């Protein structure tokens, strides 16, 4: 980060926002557990490819995926979820945050139901946000509840950007950190001061000139944050700060 594109924040507090599927969890739960209720795998792949290439947005891919589900059962889904594992280093990031009084939030474009179940099963108690759902028990179909989408933008099924904006404050000397790996993280990465990325998100940040740090585990993130903290280099990223201000001003 150059001095021209960032602003030093003294005695700052970190607000960390972390993606769930494929970031906290080893697998993408949407595809390894929820998709077990989808028989038409060709359609699932085609819809997913359209999302990754930008032909459809996050809200559309979620609605189309859920529309493929048949024979859904929350009880059966929970049995699948019990097979899912998380990155063993994630609890260490939580402890690191607590040692400094920083806050951490889990933000997911997946179902709040499975995010909550997996976190609780691992004894993780942090604020978390996802998509709601309604089940038609007669037909075994599922519809999404998009109550955390932005009212002026339907591009995302769950607006991670708004969660970041509401739960962090430049004026309070808070530096926002985003951690993610996929296409649902593209938008919010433009509004975070510090971005940790892997997979598709890393490629997106590189192509769009968004400063980011690559990571393999949360231990990598802890080491980098500690280095930035001890060297006094925790900063507001100017481009992100301007974007945040524009949102609040209605720009």
- pTM reported for the whole predicted model: 0.93
Give me the tens of pLDDT residue by residue for the chain, a chain 251 residues long. Answer: 333 456 556 668 999 999 999 999 999 999 999 999 999 999 999 999 999 888 999 999 999 999 999 999 999 999 999 999 999 999 999 999 999 999 999 999 999 999 999 999 999 999 999 999 999 999 999 999 999 999 888 789 999 999 999 999 999 999 999 999 999 999 999 999 999 999 999 999 999 999 999 999 999 999 999 999 999 999 999 999 999 999 988 75
Phi-psi sector, 101: left (phi>0), alpha (psi -120 to 50), beta: left
Query: In this predicted structure, what is the pLDDT of residue 9?
Result: 65
* Boundaries of every domain in the chain: 6-27+86-131+148-248
Count of CB atoms within 10 A of residue 245's CB?
11
Query: In this predicted structure, what is the pLDDT of residue 151?
Result: 84
C-beta separation of 97 from 165 below 8 A = no
Residue 46 to residue 236: CA distance in whole angstroms: 39
C-beta separation of 15 from 234 below 8 A = no
6-27+86-131+148-248 homologous superfamily: HAD superfamily/HAD-like (3.40.50.1000)
Closest residue by Cα to residue 244 from 41, 236, 100: 236
């Amino acid at each position: 980060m150059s001095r021209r594109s960032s602003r030093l924040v003294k005695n700052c507090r970190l607000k960390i926002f972390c993606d769930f599927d494929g970031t906290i969890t080893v697998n993408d739960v949407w595809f390894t557990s929820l998709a077990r209720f989808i028989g038409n795998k060709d359609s699932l792949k085609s819809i997913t490819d359209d999302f990754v290439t930008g032909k459809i947005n996050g809200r559309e891919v979620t609605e189309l995926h859920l529309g493929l589900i048949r024979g859904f059962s929350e009880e059966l889904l929970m049995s699948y979820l019990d097979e899912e594992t998380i990155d063993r280093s994630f609890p260490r990031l939580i402890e690191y945050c607590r040692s400094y009084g920083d806050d951490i939030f889990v933000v997911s474009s997946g179902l709040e139901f499975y995010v909550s179940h997996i976190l609780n099963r691992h004894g993780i108690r942090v604020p978390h946000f996802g998509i709601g759902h309604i089940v038609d028990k007669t037909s075994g179909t599922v519809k999404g509840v998009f109550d955390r989408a932005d009212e002026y933008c339907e591009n995302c099924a769950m607006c991670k950007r708004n969660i970041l904006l509401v739960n962090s404050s430049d004026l309070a000397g808070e530096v926002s950190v985003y951690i993610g790996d996929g296409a649902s993280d593209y938008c919010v990465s433009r509004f975070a001061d510090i971005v940790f990325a892997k997979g598709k998100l890393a490629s997106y940040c590189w192509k769009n000139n968004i400063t980011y740090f690559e990571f393999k585990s949360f231990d990598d993130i802890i080491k980098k944050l500690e280095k930035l903290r001890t060297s006094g280099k925790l900063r507001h990223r100017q481009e992100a700060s301007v974007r945040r201000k524009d949102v609040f001003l209605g720009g």
